[in-house]
Structures are given as structure tokens and as C-alpha cells.
Amino acid sequence: MARTQGSHSEITGPRIRSAALALFAKHGFAAVSMRQIAGEVGVQAGALYNYIPDKQALLFSLMKGHMDDLLAACEERPALNTPQDRLRDFVDFHIAFHLDRPEAVFISYMELRNLSPENFAQIEALRRTYENRLEAILEQGRAQGVFEVADTKIATLAVIAMLTGVTTWYRQAGRLSVTQVQAVYWDMVRKAVAA
Amino acid sequence: MARTQGSHSEITGPRIRSAALALFAKHGFAAVSMRQIAGEVGVQAGALYNYIPDKQALLFSLMKGHMDDLLAACEERPALNTPQDRLRDFVDFHIAFHLDRPEAVFISYMELRNLSPENFAQIEALRRTYENRLEAILEQGRAQGVFEVADTKIATLAVIAMLTGVTTWYRQAGRLSVTQVQAVYWDMVRKAVAA
DNA sequence: GTCTATATTGCGATAGAC
DNA sequence: GTCTATCGCAATATAGAC
């Protein structure tokens, strides 16, 4: 079925998001212009506004999409019984998920301050939801006496900070596979919270 | 001794740096204008250029100053013998130093991509130097059999990521003192690298 | 050393033709 | 849906008066 020349609604939208993701991650939201994004996609700047109301909404959409993906993927993990198994699964999942989309991770970390207050609150709430999943695991382990942490909330944030840090150094062409990285981090996490 | 009216060379310089530090930390380097900085200081934008060649140099100066402070303070720590004592001292130092200047820490983390390539290389080298201090401690402990880590380099980065994460949640008015925070993190670090 | 004024460039966003 | 053209504004940085 023929299309009006120059009309590509089904592919331009995703391409805008993809280009914006890469550019925001590389240069930062405030440093990237709508003209740059349009140039990457191959359209004029004005055409972007057929897909997004404004630049802020584009940033929010990218971050919201990332957080939704994170929580959805997290929900799909198999239900495990022991705190140790659940923690190991969380470590594996967190590392694999974050190494799989470093740009989105970077943006969702770095561009929080460029969100409007309302948008910031939404993303923060999703981040809390994710943190709570780990906190519940640590709390269960502590209740059962298999974990021992001085402060469950701090331990939660410390473990997440440690794991997310993997994105700052991991390179696909490096000496370690994702599986090996997971094993190395699991060894440290396991010991850090052990009774 | 009388001064030419409107001439304040000795205080304007530091005030520019201080204002820029706060504004860059809050809104991001690219999102802050020279006019905003000047407004905070109480001068016109053009006057800033009596103190800095350009905006990039201002950012670099702030980050370089922070890294120099970090390494200088690190050098001044007492010489300790056992790897355990040295690691404990590193944890205490890292947390106290970073909690003491959250804005500079934030900038040195977030604005690396806004540095020119030459400036980036310099900051990176200083960061490596700092990381190497921890790596040497972990390596010594491993050689002596008191630490056991699957990968010393990864353990180094993991510990630093975990510790630096404290700046994202710690608030002075919160429920924990710096000393308590140090104890909580030390407990986790100690166990994470224990043999 | 700071001011006012300005050169120059680029920004986000919109209007209307096709 | 995309284009060209443009509005209104703000950006960095500089020049010259005081």
C-alpha cells in the first residue's frame, strides 16, 4: 500500500527516541539540541514535533520507558524461596539488565535534575519501587538469620550502587563475560550481607 | 587602603568558583549560563572573563581542584601497616571526604563528558591515581591471604562505587552521623573482601 | 575591575505550503 | 508527515568607556 512521499510515521518515532537516547547519553540532555536529534534521524527539526510535544517530554518518555522496562523485567523473574537464591537472582538480573542498555541507564542516572518536578517525582517513585524489591529480600534474609546487615536500607542502596557501577567500566570486548562479571559481584554481595 | 570603586579582585574570584560549583551541581554544566553565575556573584557577565578564559576552563578548574584536594588529603593519612587497618582508614576517609563536599563530588562524577578531550584525560588520570591507592591495599591483603577477592581491579571499582553512593542519600539532618555511616559501610566492605 | 553595549550564533518551538 | 521559513529569545564572548 502506497504512502504519501516523505511520510514515515511508524519508523520515525522510534528513530527519534533512539537518536535522542544516544545523544543524551553522550553529551547530556541540556547540551543536545533538537536540531542535532533531527539531523541524526534525517529529518528537519520541526518534524520532531509531530511525535513529541517538547524536549522535556522526550526526556521523560525515555526515562519512564526505561524504568517501566526495568520493573516489568523484574516481575518476570522466577519466584524463588530462600533469601540467598533471591539475592543471587537479583544480582544476576541487575547486572545483565543494566549492561544490556548502558545508555538508558546512564540517562536515568544523570538527567534526573533536568526533569520537571512532576516528572521527577514519577521517576523517583519507580526507582523506589525497584529498590524496595531488593530491600524486601535483605529484610527476609535478616529475619531468617541468614543475612546480617547493620542497616537494611543502607545495605540496599549500597548493593545497588555497587552493582550499577559495573556500567562505568564494563566493555563487551573486555576480558570478562557477563556471566563472569555476575559471579565476581555475587561473591562480594554474598559476603557483604552474610551472617 | 582605599580601593578603586567596584574593584574586588581578591574576593570575586573565589565567589565565582563557589557560585559556579553550586549552580553546576544543581542544574548541570550545560544548563547553567554565565549570566546566572554572574548574577549569583553580583556582577555582570562580562566581568567573569577577568578571572576565567572561558566556561570550559571554569569547569575544568573546579574538577581539577577537587581531584587535587582528594589526592592531597589522601596523602596526609597516617601510614598504617596491616591491610585491614589501611582498608578501614580508606573507607573512613573516602566517606568523610565525599560527604564533606557533595557538590564537588557530584560535578566530578557527572560532568566528565562536558570536558574537552585534553581536560578529560587529565581528570581521568587523577581518578586512576586515586583508585590505585585502594587497589594497592586490596592487593597487599590478597598477597597476605587476609583478603579474598575474585578480581582485585573489579573489587576496587565496586568498593569505590559502593562508598561514593553514600552521597546520593546522606543528609546531615538524617538519622545517622558520619561516624555511624562509616561503621555501617566498613562492616559491608570488610566482609565483602574477607578471606 | 566592572560596567554597558553588542557581535554572533544557536536555541526551542510554531506556521503554513505541499 | 515533512518541509522551509521564521519568531522571540538567550547563549558565549568581546570591546571600549569609566
Q: Are A166 and A185 in contact (CB under 8 A)?
A: yes
The whole-angstrom distance between B15's CA and the closest CA on chain A is 24
pLDDT for residue B10: 81
Of residues A157, A176, A189, nearest to B165 (C-beta): A157
In tens digits, what is the pLDDT along chain A, a chain of 195 residues? Answer: 433 445 677 899 999 999 999 999 999 999 999 999 999 999 999 999 999 999 999 999 999 999 999 999 999 999 999 999 999 999 999 999 999 999 999 999 999 999 999 999 999 999 999 999 999 999 999 999 999 999 999 999 999 999 999 999 999 999 999 999 999 999 999 999 999
Q: Looking at the structure, give the CATH architecture of the domain made up of residues A55-192.
A: Orthogonal Bundle (1.10)
DSSP three-state, residue B145: coil
Of B26, B166, B183, the CB nearest to A113: B26
Over the stretch B138-166, which tens digit does the pLDDT of each residue have?
999 999 999 999 999 999 999 999 999 99
Query: Domain B1-52, CATH 1.10.10.60 — does that match?
Result: yes
* Contact (CB<8Å) A162/B164: no
Q: What is the pLDDT of residue A7?
A: 67
Q: How far is the CA of A70 from the C1' of C14 (A)?
A: 36
Q: Which residues are bridge partners to A147 per DSSP?
A: A194
Beta bridge partners of B147: B194
Q: What pLDDT, on the 0 to 100 scale, is given for residue B1?
A: 40
If phi > 0 it is left, if psi is from -120 to 50 it is alpha, else beta; for residue B33 that is: beta
pLDDT of residue A4: 43
What is the mean pLDDT of the segment spanning B41-62?
97
Q: Which residues contact B179 (CB under 8 A, 6 or more apart)?
A: none
Q: What is the DSSP letter of A78?
A: P
- Residues B93/B74, Cβ–Cβ less than 8 Å: yes
Cβ-count burial A76-111 (b if 16+ within 10 Å, e if not): eeeeeeebbebbbbbbbbbbeebbebbbbbbbbebb
- Is the CB of residue A105 less than 8 Å from the CB of residue A167? yes
Cell of A177: 563475560
Name the residue with higher pLDDT: A11 or B90.
B90
* Over residues B53-78, mean pLDDT: 98
Is B183 touching A (CB cutoff 8 A)? Answer: yes
- Whether the pLDDT of residue B3 is over 80: the answer is no
Asked: is B54-193 a CATH 3.40.50.300 domain? The reply is: no
pLDDT at B142: 98
Q: Please give the protein residue whose CA is closest to the C1' of the nucleotide D15.
A: B46
pLDDT in tens, B112-142: 999 999 999 999 999 999 999 999 999 999 9
Task: Indicate if the alpha-carbon torsion angle B154, B156, B159, B163 is positive or negative.
Answer: negative
- Nucleotides in C strand less than 7 A from protein CB: 1-5, 10-16
- Smallest CA–CA separation between B95 and chain A, in Å? 13
User: CA–CA separation, A93 vs A87, rounded Å?
Assistant: 10
List where CATH 1.10.10.60 sits in chain A: 1-52
Q: What does the block give as the cell for B9?
A: 579582585
- Residues of B36-75 as b/e, b for ≥16 C-beta within 10 angstroms? ebbebbebeeeebeebbeebeebbbbbbbebbeebeeebe
CB contact, 8 Å: A151 with chain B?
A: yes
CA max distance for chain A: 67
Query: Looking at chain B, which residues constitute the CATH 1.10.357.10 domain(s)?
Result: 54-193
Q: Pull the grid cell for residue A107.
A: 540517562
A194 SS3 class:
strand
Closest CA to A194 of A96, A77, A81, A87: A87
Instruction: Tell me the shortest Cα–Cα distance from B191 to chain A, in angstroms.
Output: 5
